Amino acid sequence: MSEHPKGQRLGRGLSALLGETEPAENVAPNMNQDNRVPIESLSRNPDQPRRRFDEEAMEELTRSIAEKGVLQPIIVRPIPGGGGYQIVAGERRWRAAQRAGLHEVPVVARDLSDREVMEIALVENIQRTDLDPIEEARGFSVLSEQFNHTQEDIARVVGKSRAAIANAIRLLGLPSSVQEMICDGRLSAGHGRALINTPNPEEMAARVAAQGLNVRQTEELARQASAAPETKGRSGKSTHGKDPDTLALEEDLTRRLGLAVSISSRANGSGQLQINFSTLEQLDDLCRRLTQD
């Protein structure tokens, strides 16, 4: 299948996912538009980008399917040689149906290329509500960069604004350590967007997390950091008021203590070490560690 030029509508595979009408020749031979097949005749797509399934959500889906059955057909494609069907979209429903003890599930079979299958898998995952912001941003980025879809097209398919797509993809410009903090919930996507253009996002992220700053406070902190006078450190690298050695020491202490550390120095060699905490428990833990023999 040829590449989609920028600005062209999304491909046939995504149309299948959205339930749009497919030409009859694109439906798999000997398969009705909506058919029931033995559950054991289906197999998962080994290239499915999603690997993690939330257990609580799976239990909820299993209870629903046990009570009402599989209401939305699973999209599949025939495995060459008559070896059953490969799941294109709907692996969660298939897994939950097995847990619920179902013997058959409704399917819609399509003759889809590997490219179309990957597009559908990406969009189905993005449309789920339990993705973290970085997983979602990566999905948008692949659809845009690898499959050449415009942000307007992606926005239409996933039900978001074009600005939301652009802002999500911007998060991928953050250092990997900051992205990890967003993935595990220590920072929100709003925090991440505020930190993108700061002089040292990793140091700022550690400080925001340690102090428990909200997004508005983080935006103000980022504004102040970006407005700091620019100087030259001893290495000749451009810094914002602190040399690279001081910044590295701040990062190391912040990482070791789990609290935001700020160091300021004067020309005569004196200075100040500031350790920020956001709860009394953090202060107690710091005092305990400092007074250990």
- Bridge partners, residue 87, by sequence: 76
Residue 26 is predicted with a pLDDT of 42
Q: Indicate whether 102 and 192 sit together in one domain.
A: no
Residue 293 is predicted with a pLDDT of 59
Whether 59 shows a pLDDT value over 80: the answer reads yes
Which residues lie below 8 Å from residue 20, measured CB to CB, with a gap of 6+? none
Q: Indicate whether 105 and 192 sit together in one domain.
A: no
Which residues lie below 8 Å from residue 49, measured CB to CB, with a gap of 6+? 118, 121, 122, 125, 139
Cα dihedral value 123, 144, 147, 28, nearest 10: 20
pLDDT digits (tens, 9 = 90+) for 70-103: 988 999 999 877 779 999 888 889 999 999 999 9
Strands 74-78 and 104-109: parallel
Q: How far apart are CA 195 and CA 116, in angstroms?
A: 35
Q: How far apart are CA 274 and CA 256, in angstroms?
A: 14
Task: Report CA 102 to chain centroid distance, whole Å.
Answer: 32
56, part of any domain: yes
Q: Indicate whether 283 and 199 sit together in one domain.
A: yes
Which residues lie below 8 Å from residue 57, measured CB to CB, with a gap of 6+? 130
Active site residues: 91
Q: Indicate whether 190 and 276 sit together in one domain.
A: yes
Q: What angle do CA 31, 36, 39 make, to 5 degrees?
A: 115
Residue 51 is predicted with a pLDDT of 60
Q: How far apart are CA 181 and CA 210, in angstroms?
A: 12
173, part of any domain: no
Whether 231 shows a pLDDT value over 70: the answer reads no
Residue 46 is predicted with a pLDDT of 76
Phi, psi at residue 42, to the nearest 5°? -100, 145
149, part of any domain: no
Confidence of residue 241 (pLDDT cuts 50, 70, 90): low
pLDDT digits (tens, 9 = 90+) for 202-225: 989 998 998 899 999 998 888 888
Whether 229 shows a pLDDT value over 80: the answer reads no
Mean pLDDT in the chain? 77
Lowest mean pLDDT among 33-37, 109-113, 139-143: 33-37
Whether 22 shows a pLDDT value over 90: the answer reads no
278, part of any domain: yes
The SS3 of residue 138 is: helix
pLDDT (average), residues 127-144:
81
Picking from 186, 50, 239, 45, the residue whose alpha carbon sits closest to that of residue 126 is: 50
- Name the domain boundary from 109, 128, 147: 128
Residue 230 DSSP class: P
Q: How far apart are CA 147 and CA 55, in angstroms?
A: 31
261, part of any domain: yes
Q: Which range of residues forms the domain containing residue 46?
A: 12-128
Q: How far is CA 255 from CA 147, 188, 204, 207, 222, in A?
A: 39, 19, 12, 10, 20
- Name the domain boundary from 128, 157, 175: 128
Task: Provide the domain count of the chain.
Answer: 2
Q: Indicate whether 53 and 121 sit together in one domain.
A: yes
Q: Indicate whether 193 and 263 sit together in one domain.
A: yes
239, part of any domain: yes
pLDDT (average), residues 124-147:
80
Picking from 158, 165, 114, 164, the residue whose alpha carbon sits closest to that of residue 17 is: 158
Q: Indicate whether 196 and 282 sit together in one domain.
A: yes
pLDDT digits (tens, 9 = 90+) for 188-202: 999 999 998 888 899
Residue 73: which CATH number?
3.90.1530.10
217 near 242, Cβ under 8 Å? no
Q: Indicate whether 117 and 22 sit together in one domain.
A: yes
- Name the domain boundary from 128, 160, 177: 128
136, part of any domain: no
Q: How far apart are CA 92 and CA 62, in angstroms?
A: 9
Residue 228 is predicted with a pLDDT of 60
Phi, psi at residue 9, to the nearest 5°? -65, 160
Length of the chain: 293
Q: Indicate whether 189 and 272 sit together in one domain.
A: yes
198 near 210, Cβ under 8 Å? no
194, part of any domain: yes
Residue 123 is predicted with a pLDDT of 79
pLDDT digits (tens, 9 = 90+) for 259-274: 777 787 777 778 888 8
